[in-house]
Amino acid sequence: MIHSTPIIHRADMIRCALCADAPCNDACAAVKPAGLLRSIWFGNEQGAFARLPEANPCLTCGAPCEEACVRPGEVPIRDLVNRLYYQVKQEAETAPPDDESRLACDLCGIPLENPFLLASSVVGSSYDMCARAFEAGWAGVSFKTVCTLDIHEASPRFSAVHDAGGGIMGFKNIEQLSDHSVAENMAIFRRLKERYPSKFILASIMGQNEQEWGELARLCEENGADAVELNFSCPNMMEEGLGSDIGQIPEMVERYTAAARRHCAIPVLAKLTPNVAAMSPAAEAALRGGADGLSAINTIKSVAQVNIHTYVSAPAVHGLSAIGGYSGPAVKPIALRFIAELAKNPKLKGLHLSAMGGVETWQDALEFILLGAGTVQVATAVMQYGYRIIDDLKEGLNLYLAEKGFNRLSEAVGLALGSLSETTDALERDTIVFPQFNHERCIGCGRCAISCSDGGHQAIRMNAQRKPVLDGRACVGCHLCRLVCPQRAITSARKRITRRASAEE
C-alpha cells in the first residue's frame, strides 16, 4: 500500500547531498545506492524497493558506500537499504506496472505521454536544455517567455530560504523573460519539433500591445508550438503594464487573450497571477477572450531576506534589491488553493488546468491532479535537483494509479474537490480526535508537552520515564503535538462526544 506519508522520510537521510555521479555507486555494484537514495528523497520508496535484488547484499557488507560518500559516515546508506527490504517490502502490495500507459493524458486534446511539463523559466530556455529534458522523460516544456523586449538581467538574481537540512524551502528570483530574439526562439521551436515530434511545446509569450500578442501567437504556431501560454503573471517586469500588472485587471486579460486567439488556431492558455485576492475574475475574463485553458500559479511577490548588517534584501545587486517572485515548496499550499478555486468554479468547466507551485515529488503533483489539474509544471525543483527527478515523478505516480485501480490519469482528476469547503462553516465540530502516543518510537524529548503547554491547552505532561501522558479532560484534539513531534511518534486515536454535543442531544 502506498502511504499518504512515506515510511522512510527525508529526515532519515538528511545529510545525503543527492550527488551527481555519486561516489557511493562506485563503491557498491550490488545495489547502486544513489538512485535508491534519490527515490527515497522524492517519496518513491516502493519504486526503490522494486529495483533491489531479491537477496539483501547489505547483510554481509561492510558498507564501503558510506565511507565513499562525500560526507563520509554521515549518510546511513546500509540502514536505508535494509529498511527498504524489511519495512517497505512488508507494505508493498502492488508490483510496479510494466509500462507507463496509465500516465498518458492530454492538454486541450493534444496527447501527452505523461502529465509532467517544465514550467516557463530558465529550466526550459534553450534547445540543449529542452532536448536533455525530453530525453530524460519530460512530456513537454513551457518554454521561457518569448517577447520583443531587450532583456538584460541583474546579477545575482536568485536567493533562497533554506530548511534545517540545507534544502531550498522558498526560492526568490528577479529574473525576467527570454533573452533570445524572437527569431532565435522560433528556430529553437523548429529544431525541437523536428527531432522530438511527440513532445509538447507550450510557447509562453508576452506582448506589449494587442498587435504583439497576436503576432507572437501566430509566429509560435507557424514554427511548431503545440499551444501558447499567455504570460499575464510575471512579477518582475521593469516596465509597467506587463506581466502581473495585466493579470490583476480582468479587462486586459480578456483583451489580450482575444488578440492571441484571433491570430492562431492552436490552444491558448492564460497563465494567471497569484498576486490577487481571487483568481476567478481573471480566469473568467480569459474564457471570454477565447482561452482553452489556464495555467497557475506563477511566482508570488515577495521580500525573501534582509541582511541585518547591510540592510539590503536578497538578492543584493550593487547595494539595491527589489520585490521579486517567490516559488518552491513554501508556496504549494497557496497554489493548491488557487487551483481548487478555478476547478470548483462552474463557469470555468471544460477549461484545461495546468498547475504549478512547489512541486517536488509525485505526491505533490498528485495533490494538484486531485484538485482538478490535468497537467503539472515544475521549475524550482528542477533548478535544485535537475531533470533526473522525472524518473521518480513518473514511477511514483504510475504505481499509485495502478494500486488504486485507475486505468487512466484522468480518472483521478478532481477527486478531492468534493471534500473541500470554501469556508470552515461546513465542518463538524461535535467530536474530538485524540492524539495517540507510540512510546516505542518516543525518545522522551518533551517537545509535545512544551507545545501543548505554551501553544495549546495544557493537556500533556511527561511522566517519570520521560513519556507523554494525555489529560483527556483538557485535550481539545488540535493535534499540535502530532505536528511538532520530531520522531513521528504521535498518531490519531479514538473519538469522543463533547459535552456541548451531548447537551444538544
What does each of the 505 residues of the chain score in pLDDT, given as a tens digit?
A: 676 677 888 989 999 999 999 999 999 989 999 999 999 999 999 999 999 999 999 998 999 999 999 999 999 999 999 999 999 987 777 788 999 999 999 999 999 999 999 999 999 999 999 999 999 999 999 999 999 998 888 898 999 999 888 889 999 998 889 899 999 999 999 999 999 999 999 999 999 999 999 999 999 999 999 999 999 988 877 667 787 889 999 999 999 999 999 999 999 999 999 999 999 999 999 999 999 999 999 999 999 899 999 999 999 999 999 999 999 999 999 999 999 999 999 999 999 999 999 999 999 999 999 999 999 999 999 999 999 999 999 999 999 999 999 999 999 999 999 999 988 888 988 889 999 999 999 999 999 999 999 999 999 999 999 999 999 999 999 999 999 999 999 999 866 666 544 333 3
User: Which of 214, 294, 209, 290 lies closest to 252, judged by CA?
Assistant: 209
pLDDT of residue 494: 67
* pLDDT for the residue numbered 505: 33
User: Both 79 and 210 in a single domain?
Assistant: no
User: Do 32 and 140 reside in the same domain of the chain?
Assistant: no
- pLDDT score for 504: 36
Domain match, 127 and 42 both: no
The set of cell numbers assigned to 64 is: 564501503
Q: Is residue 114 part of a domain?
A: yes
Both 412 and 477 in one domain: the answer is no
Residue 468: give its domain's CATH number. 3.30.70.20
Catalytic annotation, pick one of 69, 220, 234, 264? 234
How many angstroms separate the CA atoms of 273 and 290, rounded?
18
The last residue of a domain, from among 398, 419, 440: 419
Confidence (pLDDT) at 242: 81
- Listed in sequence order, the residues at least 6 apart from 223 whose beta carbon sits closer than 8 Å to its beta carbon are 186, 187, 189, 190, 193
Residue 362 lies inside a defined structural domain of this protein: yes
Domain-embedded: residue 371: yes
Q: 135 and 270: one domain?
A: yes
The span from the CA of 34 to the CA of 349, in Å, is 44
Rounded Cα gap, residues 148 and 24, in angstroms? 47
Report phi then psi at 182, rounded to 5: -60, -45
Bridge partner list, 146: 205
pLDDT attached to residue 178: 87
The number of folded domains in the chain is 3
Structural domain contains residue 483: yes
Instruction: Point out the domain boundary residue: 396, 419, 442.
Output: 419
Does 312 reside within a domain? no
Dihedral of the CA atoms 342, 344, 350, 353 (nearest 10)? 40
Q: Before 297, cis peptide (omega within 30)?
A: yes
- Pair (37, 133) in one structural domain: no
In a shared domain, residues 334 and 233: yes
CB environment 421-460: b (16+ within 10 A), e (fewer)? eeeeeeeeeeebebbebeeeebeebbbbbebbeeebeebb
Query: Would you say residue 317 lies in a domain?
Result: no
Cell of 311: 540592510
The parent domain of residue 23 ranges over: 10-91
Task: Please report, as a single letter, which amino acid is at residue 87.
Answer: Q
pTM (two decimals):
0.94
In a domain, 340, yes or no: yes
Give Cβ neighbours of residue 161 (< 8 Å, ≥ 6 apart). 168, 169, 170, 171, 172, 304, 305, 328, 330
Q: Do 394 and 256 share a structural domain?
A: yes
2 within domain boundaries: no
The whole-angstrom separation of Cα 171 and Cα 344 is 29
CATH (domain of 265): 3.20.20.70
Same domain, 123 and 215: yes
234 is catalytic: yes
> Which of 419, 445, 475 marks a domain boundary?
419
Using an 8 Å Cβ cutoff, are 442 and 411 in contact?
Answer: no
Residue of 339, 336, 260 whose CA lies nearest to 292:
260
Same structural domain, 141 and 190: yes
Looking at the fold, whether 474 and 491 belong to one and the same domain comes out as: yes
Grid cell, residue 434, equals 485524540
| Together in a domain, 383 and 245 | yes
